[in-house]
Amino acid sequence: MHDLIATTALGAAAPCVDHHGPISLTEEPGFALASIAARRGGERTTILAIRRMIGPTAPKAGHWAGARIIAFWTGPDQWMLEAPYDSEEFLFERAIKEVKGKASITEQTGAWCRFDLRGTNLAAVMERLCPINMATFTTGSATRSSIHHLGCFVLCRNADHISILGPRSSAASLHHGLLTAIRAAF
Amino acid sequence: MSQINRLSGGKIDRHQILNFTFDGKTYQGHPGDTLASALLANDVRLMGRSFKYHRPRGVLTAGSEEPNAIVELREGSRQEPNTRATTAELYDGLISKSQNKIGSLRFDLMAVNDRFSNFLTAGFYYKTFMWPSAFWEKFYEPIIRKAAGLGSISLKDDPDDYDRGFLHCDLLIIGAGPAGLAAALTAGRAGAQIIIADEDFSFGGRLNSERFTLGDQSGSDWTGQTVAELSSLPNVRIMARTTVLGAFDHGIFGALERVSDHLLQPAPGKPRQIFWRIYTKGSLLCAGATERPIAFENNDRPGIMLAGAMRSYANRWAVTTARKVAVFTNNDDGHRTAADLHAKGVSIAAVIDIRPDAPQSNDFEVIAGGQIINSRGRLGLKSIDIALPAGGIRQLSCGALGVSGGWNPNIHLTSHHRGRPEWLPDIAAFGPPAKGPAGLRVAGAAKGDLTTSGALNSGTEQANAWLKDLGFVPTAPDLPEAEDAPISITPFWFVKGCKRAWLDQQNDVTVKDVHLAHQENFVSVEHLKRYTTLGMATDQGKTSNMGGLAILAELTGKAIPEVGTTVFRPPYTPTAIGAFAGRDRGTAFRPTRKTPSHAWAEEQGAVFVEVGMWLRAQWFPKEGETDWRQSVDREVLATRKSVGVCDVTTLGKIDVQGADAATFLNKIYCNGFAKLAVGKTRYGLMLREDGIAMDDGTTARLAEDHFVATTTTANAVSVFRHMEFARQCLWPNLDVQLISTTEAWAQYAVAGPNARRLLQKIVDPEFDLSNEAFPFMACANITVCGGLRARLFRISFSGELAYELAVPTHYGDAMIRRLMQAGEEFDAVPYGTEALGVMRIEKGHAAGNELNGTTTALNLGMARMVSKTKDSIGSTLSERSGLKREDALKLVGLRPVNPANPVPAGSHLMSKGDPVDAAHDQGYVTSACFSPNLGHFIALAYVKSGDSRMGEILRLVSPLTGFDHEVEVVSAHFIDPEGERLRA
Amino acid sequence: MIINHPLLGPRDSAEFTYMGDASLIDRPDWKNPQALTQFIDYGYMRDNPAGAHCELWYHEQGDRSFLVVTRDTTTHEIFSVELARDVARSRGRST
């Protein structure tokens, strides 16, 4: 076992938590990510592999699905897998075993920072951030959008809980943008 | 006495007093007031000076179409010029100033311009400042610049924030007058997601300004009840103080919400304004109509205003401009103003109606068939001269005059897609074009339905039309009975014989100017507009365009619809640039990307440089170092002597996987990758299809079907895009998958003779780093520090024995600390981008300066890399003769003949004895630095046939700075040309 | 503008990067004896129609699909949106 200590995207040992009005904004470092892209002819196998990892259905375009391990659609025949880091640090290796050479797997854990918005009326915050139509962006929706010029994945976990995954190197800029929007909205 | 012009009633809260200042003097008003209404209440008619002639001007309108009452609001860093007093909502502590004057508003020294009006007519600039041409820059332009513009800016940073936002709806209703409210009620009750926006702070539109009843309710009661119902509907979003500025493509509208303009300053964290982008399936324009004036001699005196505005001030704001007023009209609506003011106890001097058959009144005198031919009063209206129908002139004293020439539908948004407005003869005005923006319907006065009843009905009708289209069940709300008087108007634009009769009061364009333009053959409306500047100011001619067109029509003997009209463009009203910028300013202008070692580098006192969005450590100053060169030289020498560490995470990393990954890379890079062995890395040169070098980097083969390609920092995004293009559009049947891993790995270069010894302390012992087991250009998946997954590449940018070690980014901070700790025994140094640059120049490696978008593989000395045995992007067009000429530029090294001389990048090279001119240019310096290892400056340069000119002495010149020295052409490989170090 | 993405539905064109004429799909065969001339035409010759125009849009802030968008250059009306990959395959692009 190595003895290196991971830092969060914002650079601290512990995640950053902010509260403002009815909204909380938390940095969520505790998850592993792996991308999964079907190889030519491996589309069916890939979907079956995803199902084995996440549950009965693989998410279609614009959605996520799953429970402990989830997958969200990122492009044609492409998904991202997400799971708790503590138990699934080697999510990418697990995925490689599942797809049996029919999909390309890439570890993405370190590439993204994740911020979660929790509270009521998250639409009031989101409408200042990106063009996602919150009226139709309900539980199970997942899409990529541009937030403060950063390509981010946005997942609606439920009506009062949204996750935003952004490029890790810009975590501080993204965090500032999110916090600013919350303070402007409430 | 305070507020001597205040009447009874109105939609103001008299219980609250708001103090404000205008030109330093304190006045009082009430909530509900605008700055204009409050000034009028305090008997202030003079509010500004005109643009060109500096004539005294007062308020003309009661809305956003205002051309005259343009003021500076607030002070200090919040000072804002050119704001319409008619829309500025009054608040306690508001500070306002008049503008465009030298001296005081009452005694403006620039008013002398009015005396020279004969010289300042249309085309004045074009005619006057033609010669002598040398005068333009030094004399004319400074004067014009000083005289131009109205308000002044603070030159301080705006302390406030602006937000941008995005909204979605089924139906956007633009305008909340009777038509908009009826439409909102209809669509809201049907359950559609609607947004109703109005630029005013109070909904109701003209209902706020009229005495009409709707059923048994007053207009404002009906409005209040309607807004209350709309507010209770969850599917309705009500946006007051929100101007829809433009209709863009496919149902996108831009709207500006003034969140805090009516406050002393925005609440903490809250923006001043929000620029909304609204996405809607359908839209309904209910923007109402704007009254237009009639031009007559000296029609611009303070106190002369539009009749509808005069009525608004009386009914909505309980203000009269004077105790005795007159009305000049060509239609029945003008008479309403007289009736309403009479009802409020204001004395009506007379209604002058150009129509001989004008309706008469029992309450006031109506001069049917009369025309106003002049006005008097230096700083405000005192009297008017009336040409009587029976002949003769009558002078009538009055302090204010309401003028009504009819109403123009506010169709601006309907022609934002170039639609040409259509003439509506019934109301003698232009209505919406037959083909406006797709998905935009029009209702109410904006459509030409000028009656209240017409507005309510057409709002309902059009909303129902949308409901049907959108799949909702249409509803018919119980519309109240409302005013439905027939429109009676006799088109009349200007009084014959008038000269200094103002059409465009903001740009000081007169009837005479239009005559002059026509006389000079500007007969198209577009030319007329640009030559006279009619309609070009901040009000965009909302009250003036029609008058100009009508006169041009008369002069050209055409009907108005034949003359046509200019079309409107966004924004509907002036918009602060800050609102478009949103939060993107200062350090938040764009996101900042930080490397995994950023925090550690900060602790070391690193100096950072922006590389695209990245912040990279440029050098790491040590105590006692006062000059950047000291730090950089030390870092270079220490690295070459022992070992140095540099964060190279910023280089783009692209995971290329799939059965055809090698085939794909063969097409992307001009050199071959198919035969690269697993566990090896190769340098690749990527060309654009036109044969110009696009990017370069190393690509490692981790498995038969798995590569990691690296790009330069600057091109990471564009190379990925290029590869996706090739994958999806050119070779869609290849089995290849791409994903960026730039952010996934923290990558450190460890370079120098002790690099291996340092890494052996980090890399787990089962991985053999010996030169035999892990030679130059090897790569492997390894583990470090007791089991952390990592990647190791033996590649070298510096020319030293070097490796790049990658670990998952979240361990990047821990890894830099561990590396530096392990390196202590070797005196390891961190080095920044400057030292990186020095070492790569010493080694003769090309970088962005050399791959500068104009150079080919041949120029770079890599012509042989372009494989002829396979197809790759750029390989065919590389064969063009023009790119392969014999004297093509070649990359070489340069060193100064006198070692003390610098070799500045950007300098050009000349053969000795040749004149210094472009025709004799031999090439140019791309990269230069001081080499601490060689003890003098060195450079990389492109030189014509440079590879065959080794040893030649050239002149290095910079004609701009007078620089002129001799340099020797040498190999670009200044250090270790045989490559022994990196293979050690 | 709104581009109706075949997989994701209507999306703001601001999420896309405009990548030029869709004729870029029709890259010539490098083995053709006329390859040099064909590549010059491919690289430099463009139609500039006032009307329907097939163009490439890259959903850079989205799913990274290249789309072939047929758009009226005078009105911005969009007639069709297809995945460029499908268009390329249908035009016989292969390895």
- Taking the CA atoms of residue C27, residue C33, residue C34 and residue C38 in that order, the dihedral angle to the nearest 10 degrees is 10
Q: Are B978 and B934 in contact (CB under 8 A)?
A: no
Q: Distance between CA B249 and CA B437 in Å, rounded? A: 8
Answer yes or no: do B193 and A135 touch at CB < 8 A: yes
What pLDDT is recorded for position B654? Answer: 98
Count the alpha carbons within 13 Å of B401 in the hemisphere toward its beta carbon.
Answer: 35
pLDDT in tens, B606-630: 999 999 899 999 999 999 999 999 9
Which of A79, A137, A146 is the best mutation test for C, with the most CBs of C within 10 A?
A146
Q: Give the burial string for B162-183 (b: 16+ CB within 10 Å, else e).
A: bbbbbbbbbbbbbbbbbbbbbb
Residue that is last in its domain, among A109, A124, A139? A109
Residue that is last in its domain, among B362, B387, B405? B405
- Cβ partners under 8 Å of residue B103, min gap 6: B109
What's the average model confidence in pLDDT over B281-306?
97
Q: Which chains touch B (3 or more CB pairs under 8 A)?
A: A, C
- Cβ partners under 8 Å of residue B238, min gap 6: B176, B196, B203, B227, B230, B231
Residue B323 phi, psi (nearest 5) = -80, -15
Q: Are B429 and B546 in contact (CB under 8 A)?
A: yes
What pLDDT is recorded for position B124? Answer: 66
Give domain status of residue A11, yes or no.
no
Q: Could you tell me which residues of chain C have a Cβ less than 8 Å from any Cβ in chain B?
A: 1-2, 12, 17, 19, 24-25, 27-28, 30-31, 35-36, 39-40, 42-43, 56, 58, 60, 64-66, 75-78, 83-86, 88-89, 93-95
Q: How many domains does chain B have?
A: 4
Query: Is the pLDDT assigned to residue B147 strictly greater than 70?
Result: no
Q: How far is B186 from chain A (nearest CA, A)?
A: 21
What pLDDT is recorded for position B475? Answer: 84
Q: Give the burial string for B382-410 (b: 16+ CB within 10 Å, else e).
A: bbbbbbeeeeeeeebebbbbbbbbbbbbb
Query: Is the pLDDT assigned to residue B533 strictly greater than 80?
Result: yes
Q: What is the mean pLDDT of chain C?
A: 96
Q: Are residues A120 and A164 in the same domain?
A: yes
Give domain status of residue B782, yes or no.
no
Q: Are residues B401 and B458 in the same domain?
A: no
Q: Are residues B128 and B181 in the same domain?
A: no
Q: How many domains does chain A have?
A: 2
What's the average model confidence in pLDDT over B667-674?
97
A-C contacts at Cβ under 8 angstroms: 34
Q: Max CA-CA distance within chain A?
A: 50
Q: Which one has a higher pLDDT value, B365 or B122?
A: B365
Give burial (CB, 10 Å; 0-12/13-18/19+) of B131. Answer: exposed
Give domain status of residue B935, yes or no.
yes
Q: Are A124 and A110 in contact (CB under 8 A)?
A: no
User: Using a CB-CB distance cutoff of 8 angstroms, which residues of chain A are in contact with residue C65?
Assistant: 75-76
Query: Is the pLDDT assigned to residue B282 strictly greater than 80?
Result: yes
Q: Are residues B143 and B175 in the same domain?
A: no
A46 touches chain B (CB under 8 A): no
- Cβ partners under 8 Å of residue B951, min gap 6: B968, B969, B970
Q: Are residues B191 and B239 in the same domain?
A: yes
pLDDT < 70 positions in chain A: none
Question: CA–CA distance from B601 to each of B91, B546, B640, B940 (Å)?
Answer: 50, 66, 21, 30
What pLDDT is recorded for position B499? Answer: 80
3-class SS letters over B700-731: EEEECCEEEEEECCCCHHHHHHHHHHHHHHHC
Q: Distance between CA B518 and CA B533 in Å, rounded? A: 14
Structure tokens at B263: 């406050």
Q: Are residues B303 and B241 in the same domain?
A: no
What's the average model confidence in pLDDT over B157-162?
94
What pLDDT is recorded for position C95? Answer: 54
Q: Distance between CA B346 and CA B341 in Å, rounded? A: 5
Helix (H) or strand (E) holding B315: helix B307-315
Q: Distance between CA B233 and CA B638 in Å, rounded? A: 72
CATH of the domain at A155: 3.30.1360.120
Query: Is the pLDDT assigned to residue B136 strictly greater than 70?
Result: no
Answer yes or no: do A76 and C83 touch at CB < 8 A: yes
Q: Are residues A87 and A117 in the same domain?
A: no
Structure tokens at B903: 């070799």
User: Could you tell me the sign of the dihedral formed by the alpha carbons of B21, B27, B32, B36, in that order?
Assistant: negative
Q: How many residues does chain C have?
A: 95
Give domain status of residue B90, yes or no.
yes
- Cβ partners under 8 Å of residue B502, min gap 6: B295, B299, B300, B508, B509, B510
Closest by Cα among B39, B543, B496 to B305: B543
Give domain status of residue B600, yes or no.
no
User: Using a CB-CB distance cutoff of 8 angstroms, which residues of chain A are in contact with residue C7?
Assistant: 61-62, 76
Residue that is last in its domain, among A64, A89, A109? A109
Residue that is last in its domain, among A89, A109, A129? A109
Out of B267-281, B379-393, B524-538, least confident range? B524-538
Query: Is the pLDDT assigned to residue B711 strictly greater than 60?
Result: yes
Give residue B142's domain range: 1-157
Give domain status of residue A4, yes or no.
no
Q: Which residue has the tokens 């050690």?
A: B984
Give domain status of residue B909, yes or no.
yes
A169 touches chain B (CB under 8 A): yes
Give domain status of residue B574, yes or no.
no
What pLDDT is recorded for position B861? Answer: 95
Residue that is last in its domain, among B118, B140, B157? B157
Grade residue B128 by pLDDT with cuts at 50, 70 and 90. Answer: low
Q: How far is C11 from chain B (nearest CA, A)?
A: 10
A75 touches chain C (CB under 8 A): yes
What pLDDT is recorded for position B143? Answer: 67
Q: Are residues A103 and A142 in the same domain?
A: no
User: Using a CB-CB distance cutoff of 8 angstroms, which residues of chain B are in contact with residue C84?
Assistant: 728-729
Give domain status of residue B441, yes or no.
yes
Structure tokens at B435: 């083909």
Q: Distance between CA B381 and CA B301 in Å, rounded? A: 6
Query: Is the pLDDT assigned to residue B150 strictly greater than 80?
Result: no
Q: Are B563 and B524 in contact (CB under 8 A)?
A: no
Q: Are residues A24 and A35 in the same domain?
A: no
Q: Which chains touch C (3 or more CB pairs under 8 A)?
A: A, B
- Strands B347-353 and B324-329, sheet pairing: parallel
Among A8, A172, A184, the residue with its CB nearest the CB of B592 is A172
What pLDDT is recorded for position B119? Answer: 65
What pLDDT is recorded for position B50? Answer: 87
How large a percentage of chain A has pLDDT more than 70? Answer: 100
Q: Are residues A105 and A129 in the same domain?
A: no
Answer yes or no: do A76 and C85 touch at CB < 8 A: yes
Answer yes or no: do B594 and A2 touch at CB < 8 A: no
pLDDT in tens, B294-332: 999 999 999 999 999 999 999 999 999 999 999 999 999
Helix (H) or strand (E) holding B181: helix B178-190
What pLDDT is recorded for position B849? Answer: 95
CATH of the domain at B896: 2.40.30.110
Q: Distance between CA B747 and CA B804 in Å, rounded? A: 6
pLDDT in tens, B32-65: 999 999 999 999 999 998 888 889 999 999 999 9
Give domain status of residue B968, yes or no.
yes
User: Using a CB-CB distance cutoff of 8 angstroms, which residues of chain B are in contact with residue C12?
Assistant: 252, 277, 279
CATH of the domain at A81: 3.30.70.1400
Q: Are residues B14 and B68 in the same domain?
A: yes
How large a percentage of chain C has pLDDT more than 90? Answer: 96
Give burial (CB, 10 Å; 0-12/13-18/19+) of B757. Answer: middle
What pLDDT is recorded for position A56? Answer: 93
What's the average model confidence in pLDDT over B887-907?
95
Q: Are residues B385 and B416 in the same domain?
A: no
Answer yes or no: do B743 and A168 touch at CB < 8 A: yes
What pLDDT is recorded for position B497? Answer: 87
Out of A170-179, B138-147, B339-348, B644-653, least confident range? B138-147
pLDDT in tens, B66-103: 999 999 999 999 999 999 999 999 999 999 999 888 77
Amino acid in the structure at residue B954: L
Q: Are residues A57 and A119 in the same domain?
A: no
Q: Are B52 and B37 in contact (CB under 8 A)?
A: no
Q: Are B43 and B294 in contact (CB under 8 A)?
A: no
Which chain C residue shows the shortest CA-CA distance from A60?
A: C7
Grade residue B117 by pLDDT with cuts at 50, 70 and 90. Answer: confident
A118 touches chain C (CB under 8 A): no
Answer yes or no: do B279 and A133 touch at CB < 8 A: yes
What's the average model confidence in pLDDT over B700-712?
97
Give domain status of residue A68, yes or no.
yes
Out of B141-155, B827-841, C49-63, least confident range? B141-155
Q: Are residues B206 and B340 in the same domain?
A: no
pLDDT in tens, B923-970: 999 999 999 999 999 999 999 999 999 999 999 999 888 889 999 999
Q: Are residues A141 and A171 in the same domain?
A: yes
Grade residue B523 by pLDDT with cuts at 50, 70 and 90. Answer: confident
Grade residue B16 by pLDDT with cuts at 50, 70 and 90. Answer: very high
Q: Are residues B275 and B186 in the same domain?
A: yes
Angle at B250 between CA B244 and CA B256, to 5 degrees: 20
What pLDDT is recorded for position B144? Answer: 65
Q: Quick one: fold of C2-90?
A: Folate-binding fold (3.30.2270)
pLDDT in tens, B409-432: 999 999 999 899 999 999 999 999
How large is the C-alpha radius of gyration of chain A?
Answer: 16
Q: Are residues A167 and A98 in the same domain?
A: no
Answer yes or no: do B732 and C85 touch at CB < 8 A: yes
Q: Are residues A25 and A115 in the same domain?
A: yes
User: Could you tell me the sign of the dihedral formed by the alpha carbons of B133, B134, B136, B137, in that order?
Assistant: positive
Q: Are residues A35 and A85 in the same domain?
A: yes
Q: How far is A55 from chain B (nearest CA, A)?
A: 25
What's the average model confidence in pLDDT over B230-237?
98
Out of A17-21, A65-69, B131-135, B750-754, least confident range? B131-135
Query: Is the pLDDT assigned to residue B466 strictly greater than 90?
Result: yes
Query: Is the pLDDT assigned to residue B115 strictly greater than 80?
Result: no
User: Could you tell me the sign of the dihedral formed by the alpha carbons of B461, B464, B468, B473, in that order?
Assistant: negative
Angle at B471 between CA B468 and CA B475, to 5 degrees: 50
Helix (H) or strand (E) holding B578: helix B577-581
Q: Max CA-CA distance within chain C?
A: 44
Q: What is the mean pLDDT of chain B?
A: 94
Give residue A122's domain range: 18-29+111-185
Q: Are C88 and B729 in contact (CB under 8 A)?
A: yes
What's the average model confidence in pLDDT over B778-803?
97
Q: Are residues A115 and A141 in the same domain?
A: yes
Q: Are residues A103 and A169 in the same domain?
A: no
Query: Is the pLDDT assigned to residue B363 strictly greater than 70?
Result: yes
